[in-house]
Copies of this chain bind each other. A is one copy, B any other.
């Protein structure tokens, strides 16, 4: 009996969010563990079933590295960033568009939720241009990152078509240029630009960490809210560092381009999505312009 009242507490959030678009991105952490992935799909199904238009963007870097190793494809990194050589590109197609897309659809099929996976190559969803060689810190010469793309524009028409017809689009972060050349795209960036183009209410970035933290090893230092100004300050002062910097930069880009709020949440703790969406207190780090 007491349980059922939880449904009632969710009521204002359902009312506020139904018909709105959420872009949810997760990466290797969530996918690695089948149980975690299924939990996540369950949570997403609930968002979908109360009428939220859910778009899923998934990474898969870890899985790609593993496959490359098995196939003897060189995993090349410069300054911590992957170089997408010919072999890696093929690996990416196979892992992202093939294995992971299919596995996610399989789980959604089990829940009887209508979904279609597609990469950004499909129907020109992600139009990109190959990144020109450039100077990077940690290298004294221009680096050619290979088949890596910078997003030029996003064609939301097929995504909107799928959402309007009640499908969950499951998007893998690859794009193509006008010649049809396939390009590897950073998953956070793909999610952020899709969210902007769709004028999403929320962009939810699921990560290995519970959110943005002052000390990545100390959960009690979690920052639960960041304005643009605070975020810029934290980067400048070094509180935000490492891989979190581009994530926060992309978040700010999304906010300035029409996304309502960005959330950095744990992909590995249970029900973070539901807590964030359906409770007053929320969880993880919320980033807003103000």
Contact = CB atoms under 8 A, between A and B. Distances in A.
Interface of A: 1, 3-11, 14-15, 18, 42-43, 45-46, 49-51, 67, 70-72, 90, 93-99, 101-103, 105-112, 114-119, 121-124, 158, 161, 165, 167, 174, 176, 179-182, 270-271, 274-275, 278-279
Contacts of A50: 14, 49-51
11 contacts: A1-B270, A4-B275, A7-B7, A8-B271, A102-B182, A106-B176, A106-B182, A110-B179, A115-B122, A116-B118, A116-B123
Nearest to A9: B3
A158 B116 contact: yes
A176 B274 contact: no
B101 A97 contact: yes
A122 B158 CA distance: 15
Contacts of A179: 110
Contacts of A9: 3
B93 A105 contact: no
B7 A10 contact: yes
Given A107-B180, A116-B118, A271 B98 contact: no
Given A4-B274, A90-B99, A94-B98, A118 B117 contact: yes
A135 B107 CA distance: 32
Contacts of A94: 67, 94-95, 98-99
A54 to B, nearest CB: 14
Nearest to A104: B121
A123 B99 CA distance: 16
